[in-house]
């Protein structure tokens, strides 16, 4: 074997030796990592955690629903007679009193009919007066024996006919006058105009909607609820109301004055009526507000963050710290929102603290070290 061949083998063996040393180092590192992991898993090391002191408190659990503002009394005014709009005396948002004319209609035919009925009635009254005069005159003549009973009875019958005719014409006149008078559309209540439908010059027909007037003194909010929520609501409870429009938020207060099942369908939806009790915020009927309903009062409960709560296939639990040891405590959590919940204070071991950070991988009885910020 030549000298060159021996040198190549030496180099090869050196490379192999270096590679084997590298593999041996990796093996020792892996053994070290597994040993540390086993110690951690078995609880042989002390784990740092953060805790909070449980403070029992009481609070309300709320549910937010949408409601609609309604007036204390809202009336849709419709046309009693047809005609053409001649004048509109009020605009939206303006206040009116009962009996004020809102809209004036015009119909020449009704004016002509009223005049005709008036003149017919006047002629009938004149005929009745004349017939009555003749009857009284003939009655005197009959008493003196100048005319017969038949003549007097004939005059009496004529008087009855004229009287009935006048009453008929009087009823016809009143009917035509009613049509004419209702060309002036008046407000039936004290309130505020929230809508005027027709324009000047427009023809309207009998039964057509003309205006909406609402009494804003006793405004209320109506909201729909599922039956399961409605059962938890109590009449007389105070609620918070929020109206958000055009980036502006207004807050109000109300009181639940009624709970009833929606009679329109069989969906199981209930309606609550909320009377506004705070300052008048000039909320309009039809506006949508958020109603914050008190559902349940939580007593002797402890607030916990979501980071403290864990669950597995069988239970929900938290870890608490006591005497530098961790303890797993099964709990029932009532969530206030997606970040905060409440657990019963009575479930916590005495003199324990709730672990809020560092709970991952903990087991009951593991050594812990409480750290602070």
pLDDT tens column, 97-148: 999 999 999 999 999 999 999 999 999 999 999 999 999 998 898 888 888 8
**pLDDT per residue over 10-33, tens digit each?**
777 787 878 788 788 888 777 766
Q: Which pLDDT belongs to residue 4? A: 61
User: What is the distance between the alpha carbons of residues 196 and 210, in angstroms, rounded to a whole number?
Assistant: 6
Answer whether 253's CB lies under 8 Å from 309's CB.
no
pLDDT of res. 229: 85
Sign of the alpha-carbon torsion through 297, 303, 305, 308 = negative
List the chain residues with pLDDT less than 50.
Answer: 1, 41-43, 263-264
Burial class of 79 by CB neighbour count within 10 A (0 to 12, 13 to 18, 19+): buried
Q: Can you give the pLDDT at residue 277?
A: 86
Q: What CA–CA distance (Å, rounded) separates 319 from 54?
A: 12
Considering the entire predicted model, what is its pTM? 0.55
- Dist. CA 352–CA 332, nearest whole Å: 18
Find the helix or strand (DSSP H, E) in which 283 lies: none
Helices (H) and strands (E) in the chain, counts: 4, 22
């Amino acid at each position: 074997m030549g000298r060159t061949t021996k040198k190549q083998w030496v180099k090869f063996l050196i490379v192999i030796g270096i590679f084997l040393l590298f593999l041996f180092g990796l093996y020792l590192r892996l053994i070290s990592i597994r040993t540390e992991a086993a110690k951690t898993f078995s609880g042989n090391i002390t784990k740092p955690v953060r805790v909070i002191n449980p403070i029992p408190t009481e609070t309300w659990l709320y549910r937010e629903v949408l409601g609609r503002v309604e007036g204390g009394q809202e009336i849709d005014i419709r046309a009693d007679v047809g005609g053409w709009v001649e004048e509109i005396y009020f605009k939206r948002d303006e206040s009116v009193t009962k009996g004020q004319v809102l809209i004036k209609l015009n119909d020449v035919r009704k004016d002509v009919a009223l005049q005709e009925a008036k003149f017919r009635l006047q002629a009938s009254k004149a005929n009745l007066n004349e017939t009555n005069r003749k009857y009284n005159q003939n009655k005197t003549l009959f008493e003196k024996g100048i005319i017969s009973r038949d003549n007097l009875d004939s005059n009496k019958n004529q008087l009855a006919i004229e009287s009935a005719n006048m009453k008929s014409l009087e009823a016809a006149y009143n009917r035509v006058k009613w049509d004419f008078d209702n060309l002036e559309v008046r407000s039936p209540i004290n309130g505020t105009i929230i809508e005027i439908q027709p324009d000047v010059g427009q023809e309207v027909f009998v039964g057509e909607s003309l205006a909406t007037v609402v009494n804003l003194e006793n405004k209320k909010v109506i909201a729909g609820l599922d039956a399961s929520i409605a059962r938890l609501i109590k009449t007389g409870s105070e609620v918070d109301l929020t109206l958000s429009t055009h980036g502006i938020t207004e807050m109000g207060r109300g009181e639940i004055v009624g709970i009833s099942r929606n009679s329109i369908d069989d969906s199981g939806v209930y309606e609550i009526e909320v009377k506004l009790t705070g300052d008048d915020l000039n909320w309009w009927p039809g506006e949508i507000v958020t109603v914050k309903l008190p559902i349940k009062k939580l007593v002797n409960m402890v607030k916990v963050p979501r980071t403290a709560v864990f669950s597995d296939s069988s239970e929900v639990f938290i870890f608490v710290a006591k005497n530098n040891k961790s303890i797993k405590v099964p709990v029932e959590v009532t969530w206030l929102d997606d970040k905060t919940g409440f657990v019963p204070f009575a479930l916590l071991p005495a003199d324990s603290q709730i672990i809020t950070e560092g709970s991952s991988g903990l087991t009951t009885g593991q050594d812990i070290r409480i750290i602070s910020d």
